[in-house]
Chain A
Amino acid sequence: MSTQTKIRASRAPKATRAQNQRTSALTIGTSKGWTGGAITALILLALMWVLPILWGVTTSLKSEKDAAGPPLSAPSEGWTLDAYIQVLTKGEIPRWMFNSFFVAVAVTVLTVAISALAAYGFSRTEFRGRKWLFALTIASIMVPGQILIVPLFQQMNSMRLTDTFAGIILPQIVAPMMVFIMKNFFDTIPKELEEAARIDGAGRMRIFMTIIVPLSRPILMAVSIFVFIGAWNNFLWPFIVTNNPDLLTLPVGLATVKNAYGVQYAQSMASAILAALPLMVVFALFQRQIVKGFATSGMGGQ
């Protein structure tokens, strides 16, 4: 969980493209057989991974009749966007998408805010019980939140928070792992950077905002990405705590609300593709930052 990336005062060194795209000559030598084998294996694996999604896409572009027909033949009624039009005009998917987006943004903002503050508190300040509280936080990384669904549901019942956005969001913002990752990062920021500001009489919060946060952009970015993906795709908790179809998030809505008009394959695939699209687009656009996020989080590295 440690990286060789030494965090200097400025920022993590950017791996250049050249470094990322190391020539195969360097890593596997000049063996032709190996290179050929690697390329073949790569293409085969990638095909296996892409195929289900591609098939979902092609199905969603067929008419209902063709969707239930033989899978490997060209559609008799041609390609059509019908399924997408049907799904989008029914209005549930856009609504669920908005809910997912709202929930994921709120969870991300709140999680990153409270975790960053706590990480700074644990990393840079002294107060009674700090070590003990931090140890508690670390220990709780081992607690799988999933096993708390039963008491948490009862708790939400008594707090009257079932079927509310607050009820979906709040239990998701406790992320000890993120506190831990950020504290590790803050620990690497040299103290003398703060000392200068402190001599100028700046308060802690000010130091945090003007010095620590700007220096920690890569890690804040990485943590935000992890939390956002997690919240966007979270199924179990929203599934437990919501029943009102107006409040369902996308993953839960797709899985629980059924089509009264029977199984319509093209439409169910179209809904699935629509649900998959936002994050896929985001990933395609921000691949570099996301991959870098993996590196800076200290979870990769060596």
Chain B
Amino acid sequence: MKHDLPRASPEPEPATKRLSDNLPHSLSGATFSRRSVFRSFAVTAGFLALGGGLSACGGSSQAAEGSIQTWDLFSGSDGISMRSMIANFSNESAVNVRPVTLAWGSPYYTKLAMAASSGKAPDTAIMHLSRLAGFAPGGLLEPYDLELLAEFGVREEDFAPAVWKNCHYEGQLFAVPLDTHPFVVFYNKDIAEKAGVLDSSGAISSITSAEGMLEVGRKLAKVTGKQGISFGHVLDSAQPWRLFWGLYAQTGGGYTIEVGSPAVLDTAKAAEVLTFLTQMMDGKIALKNQTYAGGIADFTSGTTGLILSGAWEMPALKGAIPNLGAMPMPTMFGTPANYADSHSYVLPRQVSEDPQRRRTAHQFVAGLIKQGQKWAEAGHIPAFLPVQETPAYQNLHPQVDYAAAGTTPVFDPPVWFSGAGTDFQNQLSQTISACFQGTLDPPAAVSSMLEIINKMLSAPNPT
């Protein structure tokens, strides 16, 4: 070891300078030892600490009282409505809300799970009710405090029992529903009138069977000169599944999809539904290889007269076609049933218990739920029943025309891997879409679906 006598060096300068500046020779007396190596590291450590300090300013966990962060996955008209609801809430309550919108589906839920697992999650977040089974068991969410909710005017009796029940896990409330958004039928009343498929009240009511649907489609196609019906599904990670699962429920075919036993579907009835849909997508009634965006474009340009799509598309469709009709999915296989999901608010797990923030989060959720009327403008059926009973909602057309879809909702099977934006929906959608495009026949598609579901059932449950 060489024993240099360390001298106080000139005031520490940033390490950048250290590296690039030639030190003057006048320092010949001072010598650098390992202490000075460490000193330059102390400088950089200070630099990093500054960074840490900066992050503390922006961190959600250190924000002031009466301010919360919320995440959602709404863009387009949904996003516009949501932002104005948040602004209303902020103005009335003086709570400072920081909204963040992330990409819909898998990216959103991946980020939410990662944030919750590292204890840096937002105070509240939107979650599809179909994803609750994958989030609640793993402890990524915190249960609601019913007394706090009641204090802000939200109680069990304000919701439809079927939906309310789905918000629970092991007897605790983990989600508060904002809406039900069903998969429905929109139609162009002008084209429908020319095609002669409107009844005296100006609605399509003649579809009571699969054949009835095809018939209406043919009549509409005659008027447009192209196709009658739009349904976009190519490369879509959800649409084929939504359509199939809702119609399968109409057949009354039950199912068993539970971890620990092989999946059971009524294969004949499932194939029947697929067969009907491939008949519909024959290129004349509907195209067999239409994308989601293509389906919307064809409907709004009058190339087709009817579209099978989610309630969330209502504002865009209404904007293009003022004379827009709507109805729940017609009962074509005997039992009324309508595919639906529900946007709800959840409380992601927090690392540090902060009663005040928790309280504010409850206040925020209650405040947003009560603005269901505004949310209905974006096409969703408000979950908060007092909103549904108002004259304002009762006069909101075409929303109120498909509100009945909310009374017979069909949700995803309640397993941990199902729900919006999951690989489950994605893989099944790809299979169903392949069937529509003619690369798989219906029975083969059904057995391929069972295979996919069984593979997921046998995978270890990570929640």
Contacts and interface: CB of A to CB of B under 8 A. Distances in A.
A–B contact with Cβ pairs below 8 Å: the answer is yes
Contacts of A116: 19
Given A106-B47, A256-B103, A112 B19 contact: yes
29 contacts: A106-B47, A110-B48, A153-B114, A157-B119, A162-B119, A162-B120, A163-B55, A165-B52, A166-B48, A166-B51, A200-B28, A203-B4, A204-B2, A205-B37, A206-B30, A210-B22, A210-B25, A243-B115, A244-B58, A244-B60, A247-B58, A256-B102, A258-B103, A259-B75, A260-B74, A260-B75, A260-B83, A261-B75, A263-B76
A229 interface: no
Given A260-B74, A262-B76, 9 more contacts: A109-B44, A166-B52, A210-B25, A246-B58, A256-B103, A256-B111, A259-B75, A259-B79, A259-B101
Contacts of A163: 55, 59, 115, 118, 120
B94 interface: no
Given A203-B4, A205-B32, A213 B20 contact: yes
Interface string B335-364: 000000000000000000000000000000
A170 B45 CA distance: 11
A144 B74 CA distance: 36
A206 B31 contact: yes
A146 to B, nearest CB: 17
B20 A220 contact: yes
A137 interface: no
B126 to A, nearest CB: 12
Interface string A42-83: 000000000000000000000000000000000000000000
Size class of the A contact interface (CB-based, 8 Å): 35 or more
Contacts of A277: none
A263 B58 contact: no
A206 B2 CA distance: 13
A169 B22 contact: no
B268 interface: no
A164 interface: yes
A261 B80 CA distance: 5
Given A109-B47, A113-B15, A261 B79 contact: yes
Nearest to A165: B51
Interface string A99-119: 000100010011011001100
A209 interface: yes
A245 interface: yes
A204 B99 CA distance: 54
Interface in B1-50: 2, 4, 14-16, 18-20, 22-23, 25, 27-28, 30-34, 36-37, 40-41, 44, 47-48
Given A203-B33, A256-B111, A258-B101, A213 B19 contact: yes
Contacts of A113: 15, 18-19, 40-41, 44
B291 interface: no
Nearest to B316: A262
B168 to A, nearest CB: 27
B100 interface: yes
Interface in A243-283: 243-247, 256-263
A262 B79 CA distance: 7
Nearest to B53: A165
Interface of B: 2, 4, 14-16, 18-20, 22-23, 25, 27-28, 30-34, 36-37, 40-41, 44, 47-48, 51-52, 54-55, 57-60, 72-77, 79-80, 82-83, 98-103, 107, 111, 114-115, 117-121
Contact of A244 (B27, B101, B120): B120
A240 B28 CA distance: 48
Contacts of B79: 259-262
A169 B47 CA distance: 12
A202 interface: yes
A41 to B, nearest CB: 37
Given A113-B40, A117-B37, A165-B55, A157 B32 contact: no
A247 B101 contact: no
A259 B34 CA distance: 51
A164 B80 contact: no
Interface of A: 102, 106, 109-110, 112-113, 116-117, 153, 156-157, 160, 162-166, 169-170, 200-206, 208-210, 213-214, 217, 220, 240, 243-247, 256-263
Contact of A165 (B48, B107, B121): B48
Contacts of B19: 109, 112-113, 116, 213, 220
B414 to A, nearest CB: 27
A257 B100 contact: yes
Contacts of A102: 51, 54
B184 to A, nearest CB: 21
Given A245-B100, A260-B74, A169 B32 contact: no
Contacts of A245: 98, 100
Nearest to B5: A203
A217 B80 contact: no
A165 B54 contact: yes
A26 B433 CA distance: 61
A244 B122 CA distance: 8
Contacts of B22: 210, 213-214
Contacts of B118: 153, 156-157, 162-163, 243
Contact of B15 (A109, A214, A240, A243): A109
Question: What 4 A-B pairs are tightest by C-beta distance, nearest first?
Answer: A246-B58, A205-B32, A260-B79, A165-B51
B120 A260 contact: no
A37 to B, nearest CB: 42
Contacts of A165: 48, 51-52, 54-55
Contacts of B80: 260-262
B52 A209 contact: no
A267 B77 CA distance: 17
Contacts of A162: 118-120
B30 to A, nearest CB: 8
Contact of A247 (B41, B55, B72, B102): B55
Contacts of B2: 203-204
A106 B14 CA distance: 11
Nearest to B16: A109
Nearest to A116: B19
A203 B32 contact: yes
A52 B82 CA distance: 34
Contacts of A156: 118
Contact of A209 (B18, B72, B114): B18
